[in-house]
Amino acid sequence: MANLTSINNFVICVGTVNGSGSQSANNILLKSLFRMGIPVGGKNVFPSNIAGLPTWFWIRASEQGYLARRKQADVMVAMNPQTLSEDQKTVKPGGYFIFNSDIGVINPETKRSDVHYLGVPFKKLVDQATDQVKIKKMLINIIYVGVLANLLRLDKETVLSCLKDQFGHKDSVMTPNLKGFEIGYNWVDENNTEIESAFKTAFPFQAEKRNRDKKYVMMDGNTAAALGAIFGGCSFVSWYPITPSSSLVENYIKYADNLRTTETGQKKYGVVQAEDELAAMGMILGAGWTGARAMTATSGPGVSLMSEAAGFSYYAEIPCVVWNVQRVGPSTGMPTRTAQGDILSTVYLSHGDTKHPLLLPANIKECFDFAQHAFDLAERLQQLVFVMSDLDLGMNSWVEEAWTYPTKPYDRGKVLSEADLEKITTYMRYAETDGDAIAPRTLPGTKKMNAAYFTRGSGHNAKGLYTEDSAEYKEVIDRLARKWQTAKKFIPVPVIDDQKNDVGIIAYGTTDMPMHEAREILNSKGIKTDYLRLRAVPFTDDVKTFIQNHKVIYVIEQNRDGQMAQLLTTEYPELSAKLVSVRQYDGNPVTAENIFEPLLKHAVQNKIVEVLL
Amino acid sequence: MTANSIGLTKKDYSGAVSTLCTGCGHDLISNHVISACYQAGIHPFQLAKMSGIGCSSKIPAYFMSKSFSFNSMHGRMAPITTGAKVCNADLTMLGISGDGDTASIGLGGFVHLIRRNLPVCYLVANNGVYGLTKGQFSATADKGAKLKSGAVNPFETIDLCTLALDIGCTFVARSFSGDAKQLVPLIQAALKHKGTALIDVFSPCITFNNHDGSTKSYNYVKSHDVVLQELGFYAPQEEVLVDYQEGSKELITLPDGSKILLNKIDSRLHNVHDRLEAAKVLTEARHKGEVLTGLFYINEEESNLIENLNLTEKPLAYLNEQELRPSEAQFDWVMNLFS
Task: Give the contacts of A383 (CB within 8 A, at least 6 positions apart).
Answer: A313, A314, A317, A319, A356, A357, A377, A483, A487
Nearest to B56 by CA among B141, B142, B133, B124: B124
Would you call A286 and B85 a contact, using CB atoms and an 8 Å cutoff? Answer: yes
ipTM, 2 dp: 0.97
Q: Which of A276, A291, A454 sits opposite B61 (nearest CB)?
A: A454
Amino acid occupying residue A299: S
Q: A22-35 vs A156-167: helix axis angle to the nearest 10?
A: 140
Q: CA geometry: angle at A160 spanning A155 and A162, to 5°?
A: 100
Domains annotated on chain B, with CATH: 10-309 (3.40.50.970)
Report CA A289 to chain centroid distance, whole Å: 29
- CA A110, A42, A167, A188 dihedral sign is positive
Residue A322: strand, helix, or coil: strand
d(CA A73, CA B15): 71
Query: For the whole model, what pTM was predicted?
Result: 0.97
Residue A91 has φ and ψ, to the nearest 5°, of -80, 135
Query: What's the count of helices (H) and strands (E) in chain B, helices before strands?
Result: 12, 13
A252 at B interface, C-beta within 8 A = no
Q: Is the distance from CB of A320 to CB of A294 less than 8 angstroms?
A: yes
Where b means 16+ CB within 10 Å and e means fewer, B13-34 reads bbbeebebeeebbbbbbbbbbb
Would you call A268 and B319 a contact, using CB atoms and an 8 Å cutoff? Answer: yes
Interface of A with B in 184-213 (CB under 8 A): none
d(CA A281, CA A277): 6
Query: What's the count of helices (H) and strands (E) in chain A, helices before strands?
Result: 22, 24
- Asked, as a colleague might, if the bond just before A204 is cis with ω within 30 of 0, I would say no
A219 at B interface, C-beta within 8 A = yes
Nearest-by-CA chain A residue for B114: A275
Residue A421 has φ and ψ, to the nearest 5°, of -70, -25
B308 at A interface, C-beta within 8 A = no
Q: Is the distance from CB of A466 to CB of A407 less than 8 angstroms?
A: no
Would you call B73 and A282 a contact, using CB atoms and an 8 Å cutoff? Answer: yes
Q: Is the distance from CB of B127 to CB of B25 less than 8 angstroms?
A: yes
In angstroms, the Cα distances linking A11 to A72, A209, A479 are 8, 17, 53
d(CA B186, CA B36): 9
Q: Which of A266, A275, A446 sits opposite B312 (nearest CB)?
A: A266
Q: Which residues of chain A have pLDDT under 70?
A: 1-4, 610-613
**Chain B nearest CA to A168, separation (Å):** 15
Nearest to B200 by CA among B61, B282, B293, B69: B293
Q: What is the pLDDT of residue A1?
A: 41
In angstroms, the Cα distances linking A354 to A159, A343, A345, A348, A349 are 52, 14, 11, 6, 7
Domains annotated on chain A, with CATH: 6-206 (3.40.920.10), 219-401 (3.40.50.970), 495-612 (3.40.50.920)
- Asked, as a colleague might, if the bond just before A330 is cis with ω within 30 of 0, I would say yes
Task: Give the contacts of A563 (CB within 8 A, at least 6 positions apart).
Answer: A340, A341, A343, A344, A557
Strand order in A91-100's β-sheet?
A116-120, A91-100, A73-78, A10-17, A54-61, A40-45, A397-401, A216-220
Residue B292 has φ and ψ, to the nearest 5°, of -80, 130
- Chosen for mutation from B51, B324, B336 (greatest number of chain A CBs closer than 10 Å) is B324
Beta-carbon count within 10 A of A307 CB: 19
Would you call A291 and B339 a contact, using CB atoms and an 8 Å cutoff? Answer: no
Nearest to A177 by CA among A223, A135, A116: A135
Residues in chain A: 613
d(CA A510, CA A362): 5
A255 at B interface, C-beta within 8 A = yes
Q: Report the first-to-last Cα separation within chain B, whole angstroms.
A: 70
Beta-carbon count within 10 A of B309 CB: 18
Q: Kindly tell me the burial class for residue A166, based on how many C-beta atoms sit within 10 Å of its own C-beta (0-12, 13-18, 19 or more).
A: middle
Would you call A231 and B325 a contact, using CB atoms and an 8 Å cutoff? Answer: yes
d(CA B45, CA A375): 27
d(CA A320, CA A290): 11
d(CA A149, CA A206): 10
Q: Is the distance from CB of A10 to CB of A61 less than 8 angstroms?
A: yes
d(CA B169, CA A208): 64
Mean pLDDT on B154-176 = 98
Interface of B with A in 88-127 (CB under 8 A): 88, 90-91, 108-109, 111-112, 116
Mean pLDDT on B92-103 = 98
Residue B174: strand, helix, or coil: strand
Q: Which residues of A touch B85 (CB under 8 A)?
A: 286
Nearest to B115 by CA among A279, A278, A308: A279
Q: Is the distance from CB of A361 to CB of A279 less than 8 angstroms?
A: no
Beta-carbon count within 10 A of A262 CB: 12
- CA B313, B318, B323, B326 dihedral sign is positive
Would you call A259 and B330 a contact, using CB atoms and an 8 Å cutoff? Answer: yes
Q: Report the first-to-last Cα separation within chain A, whole angstroms.
A: 36
A322 at B interface, C-beta within 8 A = no
Q: Supply the DSSP symbol for A415.
A: B
Q: Which of A286, A308, A309 sits opposite B82 (nearest CB)?
A: A286
B84 at A interface, C-beta within 8 A = yes
Q: Which of B61, B70, B317 sits opposite A443 (nearest CB)?
A: B317
Q: Supply the DSSP symbol for B317.
A: G
Q: What is the pLDDT of residue B245?
A: 63
For residue B30, name the pLDDT band (cuts at 50, 70, 90): very high
B309 at A interface, C-beta within 8 A = yes
**Chain A nearest CA to B19, separation (Å):** 11
A292 at B interface, C-beta within 8 A = yes
d(CA A537, CA A530): 20
Q: Is the distance from CB of B152 to CB of B144 less than 8 angstroms?
A: yes
B317 at A interface, C-beta within 8 A = yes
Q: DSSP states of A45-73 as a string?
A: E--SSSSSSEEEEEEEE-TT---SB-SSE
Q: CA geometry: angle at B246 spanning B244 and B248, to 5°?
A: 85
Q: Which residues of B touch A223 (CB under 8 A)?
A: 338
Q: Kindly tell me the burial class for residue B150, based on how many C-beta atoms sit within 10 Å of its own C-beta (0-12, 13-18, 19 or more).
A: exposed
B7 at A interface, C-beta within 8 A = no
Q: Are strands A54-61 and A10-17 parallel, antiparallel or unpaired?
A: antiparallel
Nearest-by-CA chain B residue for A235: B316
Would you call A403 and B68 a contact, using CB atoms and an 8 Å cutoff? Answer: no
Q: Which residues of B touch A282 (CB under 8 A)?
A: 72-73, 76, 78-80, 82-83, 109
Would you call A452 and B315 a contact, using CB atoms and an 8 Å cutoff? Answer: no
In angstroms, the Cα distances linking A120 to A108, A109, A187, A336 are 18, 21, 9, 30
In angstroms, the Cα distances linking A322 to A242, A335, A586 are 13, 18, 25
d(CA A292, CA A273): 17
d(CA B97, CA A576): 50
Q: Is the distance from CB of B138 to CB of B323 less than 8 angstroms?
A: no
**Chain B nearest CA to A362, separation (Å):** 19
Most distant CA atoms of chain A, gap in Å:
91
**Chain B nearest CA to A564, separation (Å):** 31
Would you call B48 and A444 a contact, using CB atoms and an 8 Å cutoff? Answer: yes
Interface of B with A in 230-249 (CB under 8 A): none
d(CA A234, CA B2): 45
Nearest-by-CA chain B residue for A282: B80
Interface of A with B in 489-518 (CB under 8 A): none
The runs of H, that is alpha helices, within A386-514 are: 391-395, 418-422, 470-487
Mean pLDDT on B120-148 = 95
- The model's pLDDT over B277-329, given as tens digits with 9 standing for 90+, comes to 999 999 999 999 999 999 999 999 999 999 999 999 999 999 999 999 999 99
**Chain B nearest CA to A161, separation (Å):** 13
Nearest-by-CA chain A residue for B70: A455
- The model's pLDDT over A549-607, given as tens digits with 9 standing for 90+, comes to 999 999 999 999 999 999 999 999 999 999 999 999 999 999 999 999 999 999 999 98
